Structure 1
Amino acid sequence: MNDEMSGQLTQHWTIPPAAQQMLYIQGAGGTFPIEGEYGLFTLDVPSSVITLYWGGEDGTALVRLRWQPDNLDWDGSVCVGGYIDAIHFNYSGAILYLGGHPLLVDAPAKTANYTKPVFNHGLATDLKESCTTWFLPPESPLMSTVQLALAHNLRVHFMGHLADHGSPWWQIMTLPLLLQGVMVFSS
């Protein structure tokens, strides 16, 4: 399917209908909407790195993907590094507001990690900072960690996933990212 300018985001995971209208691909030649449940797109010029945006080129940068043939193998995962700007608590959990930059999908090494993690490793600091919203259920063991990170203004990497189709979070949030992991860095 993919040549140097046409491709698709995913093959084994379908993009929720509410997200299909909101996702845009940015390459070296500009920003273009994706189409359909697998995220078909066409670029103007070949690009080695693709940025996925929510809401267009002025929207929220979600993830950086390396170009590869056939499909980009995106599975709805989002990794962002930055600071927690605010937490909104209610009966169903917490909504976290994270200002930061996306990380390259393969930024955390896939080999044994024997070196100290570095906050800026893989961070797309060439992009403008944007805000992502993340949901965390009240029973999550991550709840106290994110509260501590906010209180002490600590840098974090958030790892999570765009909510699947049919998830109730699409009714509550415009960009429903479900928080699945946090790495906290000392200042």
Structure 2
Amino acid sequence: MKTRLLLLVPLLLFLALAASFVVQLTRNAHGDDPTLLESALIGKPVPVFTLQSLDDPAKQYDQSVLRDGKPLLLNVWATWCPTCRAEHQFLNTLAAQGIRVVGMDYKDDRLKAVNWLNTLGNPYALSLYDGDGMLGLDLGVYGAPETFLIDGRGIIRYRHAGDMNAGIWQREVRPLYEKYAGGA
């Protein structure tokens, strides 16, 4: 009898795990999208920070660099992030269209990041280095890539977790970008 009971334990564990997968898949199918992570910082200023320039550690920047009167995208990225590579060409396209994109290299190796930008092109008007991830933590970053729309006064207006692509840009980000670019 004990042997039969011991044989049932793995089966019961498997069934419980399978049930949890089915529940999560059902939730996702009904709109519970884990990429739609709310940010408590929407409508609030960018947190206070001091970060080095990615390519020149002697240069330091603070939050004032993100409030120059015009909206911008703050893109959190890293060389260890495959999705960042996937979105990179689109960021180059946005930059070529005059959209100001500031990059924040997150928990990464500085030299690898500089080489990565030299190889793939650099869409960033400014590249910040958050090697220890402290600004990322203050922003509530779950991982890379994440992109924040910041208005000209340094207020966070939107957050997107995942790759920035043409569909997301057209549907969600561009209308807000244009709203804040128009002085609203």
TM above 0.5, yes or no, is: no
TM-score between the two structures when normalised by the length of structure 2: 0.25
More helix, by proportion: 2
More strand, by proportion: 1
Q: Which has the larger radius of gyration?
A: 2
Greater relative contact order (Cα 8 A, min sep 6): structure 1 or 2?
2
